[in-house]
Chain A
Amino acid sequence: MVHTYKPEKEECMPDKRIFLARAGAKYSTLARDQLIKKINSLFLEAYDQIDPVVWYSFFEKSELPKELIPDTFENVGKITIFLSTLGKKIDMLIEYYSDSGKTFESLIIDSWASESLEKLNENVDRKFREQFGAGTMRFSPGYGNVDMRMNKYIVERLLRADQVKVLESGVMIPRKTTTCMIGWLSV
């Protein structure tokens, strides 16, 4: 059974040090600079545009195709697969800035959103672990032995997340979307 979860936006507020590092900047230096006001303003603009949603479901390892099982999941019984997205509007904002030639804004918001999604995944991950105890590291298709194109299978067949489109390449739209898996050792 597929569940959906609407997280509070606050769960997606990224750590500034990390998203600025993604954008190639050093927070400790920027905090002393007038530019931090611009960064904060973009932070808040991006925050207003996200609409985070999580789809998730639990599977027996045996019911999943072999191509979807990471090598590192050898000793697991059940697997949680989840998809997190920040929604369409944040993509539109990044594109708007990019198309207007505002590369700085576009870069900052893109980095912000990537880290925001990561923050959301960390929070979802933590909540699952609080419930199910010991598990594998969080894993996403495109790493290790699992092809990124498996995203299509996850989105369309397993989670039936109709708000997310998957291209043949495995790239998902909205862009700020990820699929993740955690294998549980004792469940």
Chain B
Amino acid sequence: MRRNEFFQLLQERVLFLDGAYGTEFFKRGVNGLIELLNIEDPEEVQKLHREYIEAGSDIILTNTFSANRLKLRAYNLEKDLERININAVKIAKSVSGGKFVFGDISSTGNFISPLGDLDFEEAYEVFKEQASLLIEAGVDGIILETMSDLKELKAAIIAVRDLSHEIPLIAHMTFEADGKTVSGTSVEIFATLMNDLDVDVVGINCSLEPDEMLPVFTKLSELSMKPLCVEPNAGKPILKKGRLSYKTTPKEFAVYMADFIELGANIVGGCCGTGPEHIKVMCKYISNQKPRKRQVKREQYLSSRTILRPTDTFLVIGERINASGKKKLQAKIQQMDFSQVVELSQLQEQEGCDAIDLNFGIEKLLTHDHFRRAIVELDKRSSLPVSFDIQNLHFLESAMREYAGRGLINSAFAREDHLEERIRLLKKYGGMLIVLAMEKHVPETAQQRFKIAMKTAEFLKDHDVDLERVYFDPLVLPAGAKNDYHATLKAIELMNRAGLKTSIGLSNLSFGLANRESVNAAFLALCIEKGLSAAILNSAEATTMNVLRGALQLKGKEPAKTEQVIEDELVKLIVSGQKEKLMNFVKDSLKEKEPLYISQNMLARAMEQIGTLYSKGIIYLPHLILASETVQPAFDYLNNLLGEAQAKLGKVLLATVQGDIHDIGKRIVATVLKSGGFEVYDVGKDVPAQKILSECERLKPDIVGLSAMMTTTVGQVKEVSDLLKKNNVRVVVIAGGASMNEQLANQFGVLYAKDALKALEICKKIVRKENER
């Protein structure tokens, strides 16, 4: 199927996707990796495909959710990669009878750096390999599902599009009930980036049952300009007569799916727990409907992975990460030390910037790795959105490729060759663009600059670039060199009248002048009066920032609100990853206080506050991981002074249960528990119950923490728990992971921890109780 045919179909009627495969096979008694069925029992796969088609599905997915190289490697099945994927397509097509077959691709099971160890390019290759097999085998489209890391999704999208511009592509993420992924990306950030990327449909699947997913989907429908797809779970798994089942009945599912259509869904289907009966009742109830027309908000946003900033009022871009003429900063950047870059980013955020300009200046002395690493370091600290002030096109591409968010290209000359390359990057990686109103030389008059801007606007429109994504820079020249600033003001006025957005590099004006701050502030006010939309400026200039606020207020506007600021200095230090400063702080404190006091009353309390900030959604998972990593060396240092016995709260053994290879969540738990004062032994993933028992007997932990991500493996939690009890191992078992829930934990006779912080809280309670005995 070609993309235009798919698009046409999406306009005509709501399409039905199938339901789950993993949980459905599990219900039917299949254990282990379901993708193996493509080789070992194709009839079983064929049967389920057929049932979904008979139920009314217009699109069925290949049984390849986990069939990427990294996941198969974990099961020692790498050698079967090709057969599993190619057979899956053959099986689906053999029963499709004219219905569409989409190749199903999901996460590699690893987070890309900075959240995990996986390199962006490695993830890209893994996706490209799987997508290539599926496309060559003849799928009608590709669906990317259950992604919780925006960067990983981006790698997959780029990989698919590098293989084919013609294959229809659906891109999904999975969100928590608060509308954010576990890595802190909001549905708004997802929607606005996907508006730019070359995908045909965007959507949400898994994690949530229909009623929880509705508000998240509502946000998506308000911001997404792409057709929409949705696949909720059929509730949370519960244990019924010794088998796992899902509580959302087919009729309940159907009733809610109608709401998604009313909100504008073009494709509806089911995720975990849904089966052919759910799809049948849904298709029957919804029947043949035309997709609803949606009112989409047309605002423009810049974003990083976790921070979204609207640009419509006035965009403040911090200029201070500019290494030109700053020898120390240049040297640090060259040595891959980005601590000052990160620090400047954080400072500018506190000063009220919406984005930060990244200008390393000494590009000839740098490599691709410098730009990639800088982006990763900023991402690790959840920085503001980035303005890529990078001249070398290849470096610019490296930075944009690595970037998890919607950034700003600063800038393009108004020359076709220069513009074309940057338009290509905009289309591939998303974002906004600043265009200088000049070709080779700065035009002297406002009229000339305006004429260039208008010509460029036409060029951009001809290349399908929405002008709402573009700022035109009317050019600010140093007033000290006898340049007439009125030309800039007039150009802003003309561009503004023509409906173009404008942005200036403010500090150029006062270059070489005395009282720079006052001059900059005065000029900014004049520019705002003429309709300026954005400025790259020095936010450390209090006068400039105050005048900016005042000028906007007079125009009835206000700058975008900054998010809640962390006030506690120690918390701020830890959350921003300042290991060295924290260590200095600890050493200073030791002059007056005991190690135990610093450990328990200062660091542990700061970590508790960080936990609260995370629970309230003020900071996100990357912050939490970073904070735990930052505080760990300080704890270790204090523990050395204290001696182990006094230092550790208790011993925890962690494992991912047998059959399950996910361990990101477990590793996060390990990091948080360690930083919370526990001695942690991680015995790995895919660990049999018997091995957990023997490790318990050897290590004698106080607590066992089990992770089970999949419904097909969650039953192992009970097996482990029962085996430990049977062998009189006196430990408390805590379980977590996507497939666990409170009710299930009660049924299994274990405790439930929703996330790493809850695990820490429970562990602390357990050791407190033990100590009281």
Contact mask A137-172 → B, CB, 8 Å, 1/0?
Answer: 000000000000000000000000000000000000
Contact A10 B211 (CB under 8 A): no
Chain B residues with CB below 8 A from A131, complex form: none
Chain A residues with CB below 8 A from B9, complex form: none
Q: Which residue of A lies closest to B251 (CB)?
A: A47
Given contacts A10-B285, A28-B292, contact A43 B259 (CB under 8 A): no
| B interface SS class | helix
Bound CA–CA A177/B510 (angstroms):
83
Q: Which residue of A lies closest to B214 (CB)?
A: A36
Contact mask A17-34 → B, CB, 8 Å, 1/0?
Answer: 100000000011001101
Bound CA–CA A10/B284 (angstroms):
8
Quote the shortest CB–CB distance from B231 to chain A (angstroms): 18
Is B262 at the interface (CB under 8 A from chain A)? yes
Q: Which residue of B lies closest to A43 (CB)?
A: B255
Which A16-73 residues sit within 8 Å CB-CB of chain B?
16-17, 27-28, 31-32, 34, 36-37, 40, 43-44, 47
Chain B residues with CB below 8 A from A28, complex form: 262, 292
Given contacts A37-B211, A40-B211, A40-B256, contact A10 B262 (CB under 8 A): no
Interface residue from B259, B263, B292 paired with A40 (Cβ < 8 Å)? B259
Bound CA–CA A76/B254 (angstroms):
40
Quote the shortest CB–CB distance from A56 to chain B (angstroms): 22
Bound CA–CA A43/B254 (angstroms):
11
Quote the shortest CB–CB distance from A46 to chain B (angstroms): 11
Bound CA–CA A115/B412 (angstroms):
60
Q: Which residue of B lies closest to A9 (CB)?
A: B251
Chain A residues with CB below 8 A from B255, complex form: 13, 16, 40, 43-44
Chain B residues with CB below 8 A from A9, complex form: 251
Contact B251 A44 (CB under 8 A): yes
Contact A17 B251 (CB under 8 A): no
Is B281 at the interface (CB under 8 A from chain A)? yes
Bound CA–CA A31/B281 (angstroms):
20
Is B252 at the interface (CB under 8 A from chain A)? yes
Contact mask B229-266 → A, CB, 8 Å, 1/0?
Answer: 00000000000000000000001101110110011000
| A interface SS class | helix
Chain B residues with CB below 8 A from A37, complex form: 211, 214
Quote the shortest CB–CB distance from A147 to chain B (angstroms): 36
Contact B251 A13 (CB under 8 A): yes
Is B339 at the interface (CB under 8 A from chain A)? no
Q: Which residue of A lies closest to B261 (CB)?
A: A31
Q: Which residue of A lies closest to B252 (CB)?
A: A44
Chain B residues with CB below 8 A from A44, complex form: 251-252, 255
Chain A residues with CB below 8 A from B258, complex form: 16
Contact B263 A10 (CB under 8 A): no
Contact A13 B263 (CB under 8 A): no
Chain B residues with CB below 8 A from A43, complex form: 255
Interface residue from B251, B254, B259, B285 paired with A31 (Cβ < 8 Å)? B259
Is B578 at the interface (CB under 8 A from chain A)? no
Chain A residues with CB below 8 A from B300, complex form: none
Quote the shortest CB–CB distance from B257 to chain A (angstroms): 11
Q: Which residue of A lies closest to B293 (CB)?
A: A28
Chain A residues with CB below 8 A from B251, complex form: 9-10, 13, 44, 47
Chain B residues with CB below 8 A from A31, complex form: 214, 218, 259, 262-263
Interface residue from A10, A27, A32 paired with B281 (Cβ < 8 Å)? A10
Please give 4 more A-B residue pairs, beta carbons under 8 A apart, in addition to A10-B285, A31-B262.
A31-B263, A40-B259, A43-B255, A44-B252
**A-binding residues in B (CB < 8 A):** 211, 214-215, 218, 251-252, 254-256, 258-259, 262-263, 281, 284-285, 292
**B-binding residues in A (CB < 8 A):** 9-10, 13, 16-17, 27-28, 31-32, 34, 36-37, 40, 43-44, 47
